[in-house]
Amino acid sequence: MAETTGEKKHAAEIELSHVTYRYSVGTPFEKAALQDVSLKFEAGIITGLMGHTGSGKSTIAQLLNGILRPTEGQVLIDGRDIWAEPKKIREICFRVGLVFQYPEYQLFEETVAKDIAYGPHNMGLDEKEIARRVEEAARFTGLTPDLFEKSPFELSGGQKRRVAIAGVMAMDPEILVLDEPAAGLDPRGRKEILGGIRAYQREKGNTIIIISHSMEDMAVYADKLMVLDHGHLSRYGTSHEVFCHAEELKAVGLSRPQITKLMMELQKAGIPVDSGIYTVDDAYEAVVRLFREKKQGGMA
């Protein structure tokens, strides 16, 4: 059915090494958004980047694809400084795709297909390859071909969001950074967008960074979680390694998934359900297993 694109590319890792970023340098409003931050996004996985408003998430996103240049320190892709040759920084935009918050306001082409093709066009690809990429990106974002010739402005907000994400996916970047891709969508829309991003990552094997405020979503869709606090790295690890620090999360303005709180309350009430449950699916399995074992134990 759906065409697979063959070989997985080499997955790239991207890191900030002792990065300081100051806004409005040389004015009375100078302010450090990041201060000597070192962190690494692992190759070939989805990392959920979380943190309170103003923790530096969006600044990091813009540093990763070269829109912002570090005041001090380096941004490294596979160990190479992206600013080694500042004149070539535009190429970084092709290697590191960035989907901004509320990207649906950035569509401008006459048709959906043209909008998705804009990035690949700028990369100088041939028409056949562009068409293949448009079709593939549309598939991952759940856009049906009957929408291709419509004006993006005829679409609903959720569909526009998909077009914007597809436009960056079609550039097939080694690293894809998405700033709140599911914000403002209804529950089904959230699942479809995040599920599509995961399917894309699993097929391509590339490196993905999703900025999100939803602990529930990140518990389901991210492989690793990174927590920022006031421009510093506060935690990095699996959902278990991050969500087990309940008090610390609360102190940095985040929280654990609701289902995790329920599991903790069950434990307190004397029902020995597993610790470390962060999704409804896992909670369902754990509770069913526990009660079955109890029942069988009782009958034995």
Partner 1 sequence: MESKNYIIDAKNLCFSYKNEDGDPLPVIKNVSLAVEKGSFVAVLGHNGSGKSTLAKLLNLVLTPDSGSLVIDGCETMRDDLTDADIYDLRRKIGMVFQNPDNQLVATIVEEDIAFGPENLGIPPKEIRTRVDEALKAVNMTEFAHHSPSQLSGGQKQRIAIAGIIAMLPDCIIFDESTAMLDPAGRAEVMDTIERLNKEKGITVLLITHYMDEAVRADRVVVMNHGEILLDDAPRHVFSEVEKLKSVGLDVPQVTDLMWRLKKDAGFDLPGDLLHSDEAVEALGKLWKKLSGEEA
How many chain residues touch partner 1 (CB under 8 A)? 45
Tokens of 2: 């759906």
> Is there binding between residue 157 and partner 1 (CB under 8 A)?
yes
Query: Minimum CB separation from partner 1 for residue 230, in Å?
Result: 11
> Is there binding between residue 283 and partner 1 (CB under 8 A)?
yes
> Is there binding between residue 98 and partner 1 (CB under 8 A)?
no
| Residues in region 249-268 near partner 1 by CB under 8 A | 253-255, 257-259, 261-262, 265-266
- Candidate ranges 60-68, 195-203, 236-244, 269-277; the one touching partner 1 (CB under 8 A): 269-277
Of 167 and 257, CB closest to partner 1 = 257
Q: How far is C-alpha 249 from the chain's CA centre?
A: 19
> Is there binding between residue 81 and partner 1 (CB under 8 A)?
no
Query: Minimum CB separation from partner 1 for residue 221, in Å?
Result: 15
From the list 69, 156, 240, 275, which residue makes contact with partner 1 (rule: CB under 8 A)?
156
> Is there binding between residue 270 and partner 1 (CB under 8 A)?
yes
5 CB neighbour count, 10 Å cutoff: 13
Residue ranges that bind partner 1, judged by CB under 8 A:
51-54, 101, 154, 156-158, 180, 183-190, 213, 215-216, 253-255, 257-259, 261-262, 265-266, 269-271, 280, 283-284, 287-288, 291, 294-295, 297-299
